[in-house]
A = this chain, B = another copy of it.
């Protein structure tokens, strides 16, 4: 057992931290200004492409992707880098081409894509030239149970015909989002886990309507391409757009989820560190009742709790990454669920305290804490509400003792 990062990780951490200091943090104010000045709600500020170019030049690129296509890091090596990018969530992950949902989509194409699919869609994604979307969640069903998904993908000659309604399709309002991975049912009569398939749908396909941007506690997340409601009405794509085979959708989704959760959780921990730093600085610089807020016992209690929670949470995510590397996603099932359950609510707690400490400013657009709160609150729902995962984890825990005589 050894809690030190390996040499490669330390090297990359050093480079990335340097890049954060020299480029990302200074770009935050520029980004805000460019957002305020842009002419379309959904266009990306130009600073983003500049940061991407700089990051790529420095070799800070595609950390998330194991193997030859990416940086070739293990989950355990990537995790601390993802944390660092989470400190500037709106800029850093995109700058190093490690932003969701592209990361998951690139993983899917790397693992399951045909050569043609890789050439056409994976390569430009790896190069940061286009963005992509993952269309799974539906408004009309409890999507945490994948079996509920109702969008139909019907074979018709050399084509598939797609009909359905999706929402919260992150990034889809970004005009540069060129390709959608759509999940739907190819065979409603197959066994529950073999009904779904995934298929590639290019942005301009007729019958597909990116209808509106869904909100997240009032935020449109326009700087990231928002969260679209998308209609599929007799959308036709060539049969070769199918990813892997018919009925493989559920398995692909599972393969996609494990790394995705690690990434989300590590970034959330970076957010928590940033929030704690903001809290400490604010507490030291604001006075009330004749002394700095930092001297209020309740504020000290928050700060101590935040530090302890962050340390715990980070270790659990790192161990999960290690398990995924050593025993695979299946062997890390309990831990992947454990971080999905515990990270968002922990970081939400810290951000709640940050909001409180900033007073009216805390809920405003002048400080990042309210928006960070909304981001992390939403993680308690994304990929299924916590409650569903807790139930599943409990079933596995109880299984250890089933069949025994009771004490």
Residues of A whose CB lies within 8 Å of any CB of B are 1-6, 9, 76, 137, 139, 142-145, 148, 167-168, 214-220, 276-278, 280-289, 293-294, 296-301, 303-305, 307-308, 311-313, 315-316, 318-319, 322-323, 326, 334-335, 338, 341-342, 355-356, 359-366, 370-371, 373-374, 377-378, 380-382, 385-391, 393-395, 397-398, 400-402, 404-407
Please state if A218 and B374 are interface contacts (CB–CB under 8 Å): yes
In the complex, the count of this chain's copies comes to 4
A370 to B298, CA, bound (A): 25
A293 to B145, CA, bound (A): 12
Please state if A217 and B167 are interface contacts (CB–CB under 8 Å): no
Please state if A407 and B142 are interface contacts (CB–CB under 8 Å): no
Please state if A311 and B316 are interface contacts (CB–CB under 8 Å): yes
Please state if A397 and B303 are interface contacts (CB–CB under 8 Å): yes
The interface residues of chain A, by DSSP majority, are classed as helix
Please state if A308 and B387 are interface contacts (CB–CB under 8 Å): no
Please state if A401 and B280 are interface contacts (CB–CB under 8 Å): yes
Q: Other CB < 8 Å A-B pairs besides A168-B360, A284-B401, A312-B342, 11 of them?
A: A142-B288, A217-B374, A281-B407, A286-B406, A297-B298, A303-B398, A307-B394, A312-B312, A355-B377, A360-B382, A362-B381
A139 to B215, CA, bound (A): 27
**Known pairs A281-B401, A370-B218, A398-B294; A311 contacts B338 (CB<8 A):** yes
Please state if B373 and A217 are interface contacts (CB–CB under 8 Å): yes
**Known pairs A5-B1, A288-B145; A277 contacts B394 (CB<8 A):** no
